[in-house]
């Protein structure tokens, strides 16, 4: 029987933790929220290899699904069936100075044509829509914005406890995350504020050039999902200094944990903007002012966390997958003439 949807379920070397969570949610929840759709899973190999560029198109040509969904930008150049592609961000094009030289040509010559021929392009936030048009020529009318979600544990785990209060950041250490600005702002806090800064991931010696007289810079290493939630729950504030995010799942995790969030304005998705203390990206002085308020007026700084938790309760993985299934149905219902 012809599948309605063929879903690329690969977990490959170039996928971020957020991408893996997204694919996992689609696999887990599509049968639950869309039992009317016949979904076939496919995909093998890694990115940019023969399995991706040759075997996947051949498999799809034989399978002949009504629609294929590639949930990452790691696509075969030729997709012989109607397709949908998810692009969480175009950070490698917007901040090309931080990317490898071959990344830009890959996006323009492989990803771009596939996106322009797609039935729809899914992205996580309104801010990415004009960037897809600017860098890859994707018409905004072809883009569907479907925010990501999280499934907060209930009850929340016990908070992480340290000898001193701490700020927390979760994520990788790529240059566009702008961790240097965060460390600089934290290190410049007054000596009277004995507060640590905890970063997930491995030790980064370059970040230790800035020091705080009475606080410690802590690299927490690879953390389990439960540990990340515990760090969120115990933090004075979650801080996200990135220059850009597709969605920024840790921001939503922190909100759902009942923790104040500080983030660069360009890293904050529109659905979370009302609940985040924002500052202009790269502005260490403005970030320091927010850190100071969080450290010295913690009760006032936390004033909005419970309303924020309530207001964002709808941002679950089930909602993400339900909205994605709704997009599938709309595309499958379109007349053939419009599909061409």
CATH of residue 24: 3.40.50.2000
The answer to whether residues 68 and 205 belong to one domain is no
Angle at CA of residue 305, ends 195 and 254, nearest 5°: 65
**Structural domain contains residue 156:** no
Write the Ramachandran bin of 64: left for phi over 0, alpha for psi from -120 to 50, otherwise beta. left
**CA distance linking residue 150 with residue 99, whole number of Å:** 28
Number of domains in the chain: 2
pLDDT at 339: 46
The answer to whether residues 183 and 208 belong to one domain is yes
**Structural domain contains residue 115:** yes
**CA distance linking residue 79 with residue 70, whole number of Å:** 10
Strand order in the sheet with 143-145: 39-42, 5-8, 67-70, 83-86, 120-123, 143-145
- Can you state the percent helix, strand and coil of the chain, rounding each to 5? 45, 15, 40
Q: Is 29 exposed, middle or buried (0-12, 13-18, 19+ CB in 10 A)?
A: buried
Which contiguous run of DSSP H or E holds residue 225? helix 225-234
The answer to whether residues 99 and 197 belong to one domain is no
The answer to whether residues 13 and 115 belong to one domain is yes
**CA distance linking residue 207 with residue 140, whole number of Å:** 39
Strand order in the sheet with 166-169: 217-219, 196-199, 166-169, 237-240, 261-264, 277-279
The answer to whether residues 182 and 242 belong to one domain is yes
**Structural domain contains residue 154:** no
pLDDT at 338: 47
pLDDT at 336: 57
Residues 6 or more apart in contact with residue 205 via CB below 8 angstroms? none
pLDDT at 12: 87
**Structural domain contains residue 161:** no
Provide the residue range defining the domain that includes 223: 166-311
The answer to whether residues 9 and 96 belong to one domain is yes
CA atoms within 13 A on the CB side of 327: 24
The answer to whether residues 144 and 11 belong to one domain is yes
The answer to whether residues 18 and 124 belong to one domain is yes
**Structural domain contains residue 36:** yes
pTM for the predicted model, two decimal places = 0.94
The answer to whether residues 262 and 204 belong to one domain is yes
The DSSP string of 144-159 is EE--------SSPPPP
Sign of the dihedral through C-alpha 260, 263, 265, 266: negative
**Structural domain contains residue 64:** yes
**Structural domain contains residue 191:** yes
**Structural domain contains residue 44:** yes
The answer to whether residues 67 and 53 belong to one domain is yes
Phi, psi values for residue 323, rounded to 5°? -65, -35
The answer to whether residues 84 and 186 belong to one domain is no
The answer to whether residues 22 and 117 belong to one domain is yes
**CA distance linking residue 88 with residue 121, whole number of Å:** 10
Mean pLDDT by 10 residues, the chain (340 residues): 94 90 97 97 85 91 96 94 97 95 94 97 98 98 98 95 96 96 95 94 88 87 96 98 96 98 97 98 98 96 95 98 98 68
């Amino acid at each position: 029987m012809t599948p309605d949807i063929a879903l690329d379920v690969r977990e490959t070397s170039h996928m971020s933790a957020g991408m893996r969570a997204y694919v996992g949610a689609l696999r887990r929840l599509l049968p639950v929220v869309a039992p009317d759709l016949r979904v076939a899973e496919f995909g093998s190999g890694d990115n940019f290899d023969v399995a991706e560029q040759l075997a996947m198109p051949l498999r799809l040509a034989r399978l002949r699904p009504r629609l294929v969904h590639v949930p990452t930008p790691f696509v075969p150049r030729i997709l012989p069936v109607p397709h949908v592609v998810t692009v969480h961000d175009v950070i490698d094009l917007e901040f090309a100075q931080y990317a490898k030289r071959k990344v830009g040509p890959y996006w323009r010559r492989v990803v771009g044509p596939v996106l322009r021929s797609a039935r729809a392009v899914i992205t996580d936030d309104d801010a990415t829509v004009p960037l897809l048009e600017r860098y890859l020529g994707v018409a905004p009318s072809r883009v569907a914005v479907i925010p990501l979600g999280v499934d907060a544990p209930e009850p929340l785990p016990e908070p992480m406890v340290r000898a001193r209060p701490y700020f927390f950041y979760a994520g990788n250490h790529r240059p566009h995350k702008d961790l240097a600005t965060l460390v600089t702002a934290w290190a410049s806090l007054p000596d009277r504020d004995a507060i640590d800064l905890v970063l997930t991931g491995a030790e980064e010696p370059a970040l230790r050039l800035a020091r705080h007289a009475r606080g410690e810079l802590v690299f927490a290493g690879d953390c389990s999902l439960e540990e990340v939630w515990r760090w969120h729950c115990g933090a004075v504030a979650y801080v996200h200094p990135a220059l850009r995010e597709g969605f920024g799942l840790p921001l939503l995790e922190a909100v759902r944990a009942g923790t104040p969030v500080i983030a660069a304005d360009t890293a904050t998705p529109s659905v979370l903007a009302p609940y985040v203390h924002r500052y202009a990206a790269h502005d260490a002085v403005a970030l320091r002012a927010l850190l100071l308020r969080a450290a010295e007026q913690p009760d006032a700084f936390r004033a909005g966390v419970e309303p924020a938790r309530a207001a964002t309760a709808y941002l679950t993985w089930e909602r993400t997958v339900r909205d994605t299934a709704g997009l599938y149905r709309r595309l499958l219902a379109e007349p053939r003439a419009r599909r061409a």
